[in-house]
Amino acid sequence: DADVTQTPRNRITKTGKRIMLECSQTKGHDRMYWYRQDPGLGLRLIYYSFDVKDINKGEISDGYSVSRQAQAKFSLSLESAIPNQTALYFCATGQTGTSGTQYFGPGTRLLVL
């Protein structure tokens, strides 16, 4: 089984809808991250969490919110989706004290019409 899982893997939604992307990990890591990937822009950090009670904004947090329900679960919400949020979204995990290495899930492809 994969260490970092994301659901759904693909999602089509309409402008204005609220959607949630979920991430779970079995690696026992304390840190979790949400990124979006756009062609030609690489990955950009949306939010990150260093433990259940710690949530931090990344480069591009506007229009997004997150919830760290447990050490193993970190969800990303789009409160009112807009077309320019169409992207590939990745969840990642990391462990404090391991030189910053992050481990990525398989991604969620989101299309906002």
Partner 1 sequence: AQSVTQLGSHVSVSEGALVLLRCNYSSSVPPYLFWYVQYPNQGLQLLLKYTSAATLVKGINGFEAEFKKSETSFHLTKPSAHMSDAAEYFCAVSASNNNDMRFGAGTRLTVKP
Measured CA to CA, the distance from residue 66 to residue 56 in angstroms comes to 9
Taking CB under 8 A as the criterion, the residue among 61, 77, 104, 111 binding partner 1 is 104
Taking CB under 8 A as the criterion, the residue among 20, 45, 52, 55 binding partner 1 is 45
Q: Which bin fits 27, alpha (ψ -120 to 50), beta or left (φ > 0)?
A: alpha
Q: Does 99 bind partner 1 (CB under 8 A)?
A: yes
Q: Does 66 bind partner 1 (CB under 8 A)?
A: no
Tell me if the bond preceding 106 is cis, omega within 30° of 0: no
Q: Does 102 bind partner 1 (CB under 8 A)?
A: yes
Residue closer to partner 1, measured from CB, 59 or 79: 59
Measured CA to CA, the distance from residue 110 to residue 107 in angstroms comes to 10
Measured CA to CA, the distance from residue 20 to residue 62 in angstroms comes to 15
Q: Does 94 bind partner 1 (CB under 8 A)?
A: yes
Taking CB under 8 A as the criterion, the residue among 31, 68, 74, 76 binding partner 1 is 31
- Which DSSP letter does residue 80 get? S
Footprint of partner 1 (CB under 8 A)? 4, 31, 33, 35, 40-45, 48, 50, 58, 90, 92, 94, 96, 99-107
